[in-house]
């Protein structure tokens, strides 16, 4: 039961990550892991892995919740997203290799199309 729940969380995060960067949710490789707890010394030194970076053919997302990924993909306000509490409280690190790098200007525009079409 616990493994099934983790698999669903991982699948949801990978799909949201794909939408957030404007691709269909197809990756050559994707890794989804629970994020490490906040560490004050790492935050102050700038070493904490937080936020989203798109670098060439790679997506690197650190310490983000599924609710945040959906918010970025759809450009919606936090109050417009509803679901189980873990969607906002659980934090994850996602690292995915894209088949090809999208132009940065297409990222958000394509993310909405990906979610609308239900691509997987």
Q: In whole angstroms, what is the distance from residue 25 CA to residue 30 CA?
A: 10
For 104, other C-beta atoms within 10 Å of its C-beta total: 10
Six-digit token string for 65:
């919740």
Q: In whole angstroms, what is the distance from residue 34 CA to residue 28 CA?
A: 20
Sign of the dihedral defined by the CA atoms of residues 60, 63, 66, 72, in that order: negative
Tens of pLDDT, residues 42-65: 888 888 888 888 877 888 999 999
Q: What is the DSSP letter of 119?
A: -
Six-digit token string for 16:
């949201």
Tens of pLDDT, residues 92-111: 998 988 886 555 555 555 55
Single pTM value for the model: 0.60
């Amino acid at each position: 039961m616990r493994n099934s729940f983790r698999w669903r969380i991982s699948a949801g995060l990978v799909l949201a990550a794909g939408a957030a960067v404007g691709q269909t949710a197809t990756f050559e490789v994707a890794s989804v892991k629970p994020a490490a707890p906040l560490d004050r010394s790492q935050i102050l030194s700038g070493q904490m892995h937080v936020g989203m970076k798109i670098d060439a053919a790679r997506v690197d997302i650190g310490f983000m919740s599924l609710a945040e990924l959906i918010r970025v993909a759809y450009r919606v306000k936090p109050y417009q997203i509803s679901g189980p509490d873990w969607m906002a409280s659980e934090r994850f690190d996602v690292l995915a290799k894209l088949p090809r790098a999208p132009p940065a200007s297409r990222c958000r525009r394509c993310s909405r199309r990906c979610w609308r079409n239900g691509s997987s």
